[in-house]
Chain A
Amino acid sequence: MNFEIFIMNGFGIYVWSAFVFTFLVCLFLYVRTRKTLKKLEKNFIKEANNLSEEQFEDIKKQKITKEILISHSRS
């Protein structure tokens, strides 16, 4: 295997650390955001189910609430 392409005439250490750093930061932000979103959606459904029948019908009239409930039950 040709390692020249990774060593980059000695600049490799700087180039790779810059790319790896950026990649890790982006991955971390993505994973964390996704986790928060999933958790919130789950929580939302749970709380909505805990509401009384009347209240549930009430919130269902709100379009966004309905959308969250539908999109989550699908996945």
Chain B
Amino acid sequence: MIKYLNPSYVFKISGKLLNLFKTLLIPLVAIGLIFSLFLSPEDYIQGDSVRIMYIHVPSAWISLFGFAAISFFCILNFLFKIKNVTLIYKSLAPIGLTFNIVAIVTGSLWGQPTWGTWWAWDARLTSMLVLMFFYIAFIFSYKFIKSPDRSIKACTLISVLGLINIIIIKYSVEWWSTLHQPSSISLAKETTVHFSMLIPLGLMVFALFMYVAVIFLMKYRIETIRVKKKGFKKL
């Protein structure tokens, strides 16, 4: 077990995984796109605009999971001072922010033909926008606060508040009346998406998570090399 947590072992594995994931990425994205753009049926009311869901939903999930993950590692670091996990959350945060923006933009492009508006200040959309500010605040806290001790404290505070926001995002559509529809897919109840639409959705989720893995591994290597380079100066 200890072997797998060893930074040098992780670094070695990250290189091998990166090569594997890179080769898988292009076919996965291609299959996902063909299914979501051409092979899947249109919706009975939304028509073809349902296709936007196939990138909107995975992006939203990535941004939510991403924040939950960075908060987890940040709090872990705050409690036990495990330096290596800072590399993980530094690598994850920019990816989460990117997909948060993608989710908002694609959602807006879906909202115009469906609802008749690009944006509404309802609980779901607003809390998603708040998440974006949490991401930005988090990234600023580790980038621009020079003292590591203070930076961890700031990041932890943002993590705690952000995690509460994640819960608000999740339940916003149930607690309050919103323009955004309730979740179609959840662990608690049966899914309300027809099987023929779950296929492209599943493929896109898989392809986009593979993409996230590739970027994450590259960023992880970047952060590791940066740390090692700092070591040179001390010599």
Are chains A and B touching directly in their complex (CB below 8 angstroms)? yes
Residues of A within 8 A of B (CB): 5, 8-9, 11-12, 14-15, 17-19, 21-22, 25-26, 29-30, 33-34, 36-37, 40-41, 43-44, 47-48, 51, 55, 58-59, 62-65, 67-68, 71
Residue of B nearest to A48 (CB): B232
A–B Cβ pairs within 8 angstroms, 13 of them: A11-B47, A11-B48, A18-B105, A22-B102, A25-B102, A26-B211, A37-B218, A40-B229, A47-B232, A62-B8, A64-B11, A65-B228, A67-B12
| B224 contacts the other chain (CB 8 A) | yes
CB distance from A53 to the nearest CB of B (A): 12
| B113 contacts the other chain (CB 8 A) | yes
Q: Is the CB of B8 within 8 A of A15?
A: no
- Select one of A12, A29, A58 contacting B98, CB under 8 A: A29
Q: Is the CB of A18 within 8 A of B225?
A: no
Interfacial chain B residues near A59, Cβ < 8 Å: 231-232, 235
CB distance from B27 to the nearest CB of A (A): 16
Q: Is the CB of A12 within 8 A of B222?
A: no
Q: Is the CB of B109 within 8 A of A71?
A: no
Q: Using A22-B106, A26-B98, A40-B222 as known contacts, list a sample of 14 further A-B pairs with CB atoms less than 8 Å apart, ordered by residue number in A.
A: A5-B38, A8-B49, A18-B56, A18-B106, A21-B102, A21-B105, A21-B106, A22-B55, A22-B59, A25-B102, A30-B211, A40-B225, A64-B8, A67-B11
Interfacial chain A residues near B11, Cβ < 8 Å: 63-64, 67
Task: Give CA–CA (A19, B55) in the complex, Å.
Answer: 7
Q: Is the CB of B102 within 8 A of A11?
A: no
Task: Give CA–CA (A43, B51) in the complex, Å.
Answer: 44
Residue of B nearest to A72 (CB): B225
Residues 179 to 232 of chain B near chain A (Cβ within 8 Å)? 211, 214-215, 218-219, 221-222, 224-226, 228-229, 231-232
Interfacial chain B residues near A67, Cβ < 8 Å: 8, 11-12, 15
- Select one of A18, A30, A65 contacting B55, CB under 8 A: A18
- Known A-B contacts A18-B52, A19-B33, A51-B235; A64 and B113 likewise in contact (beta carbons under 8 Å): no
- Select one of A18, A34, A43 contacting B218, CB under 8 A: A34
The total of chain B residues at the interface (CB under 8 A) is 43
CB distance from A52 to the nearest CB of B (A): 9
Residues of B within 8 A of A (CB): 7-8, 11-12, 15, 33, 37-38, 42, 47-49, 51-52, 55-56, 59, 94-95, 98, 101-102, 105-106, 109-110, 112-113, 211, 214-215, 218-219, 221-222, 224-226, 228-229, 231-232, 235
CB distance from A24 to the nearest CB of B (A): 10
Task: Give CA–CA (A44, B98) in the complex, Å.
Answer: 28
Q: Is the CB of A25 within 8 A of B101?
A: yes
Task: Give CA–CA (A15, B221) in the complex, Å.
Answer: 35
Interfacial chain A residues near B113, Cβ < 8 Å: 11, 14
CB distance from B63 to the nearest CB of A (A): 13
Q: Is the CB of A17 within 8 A of B109?
A: yes
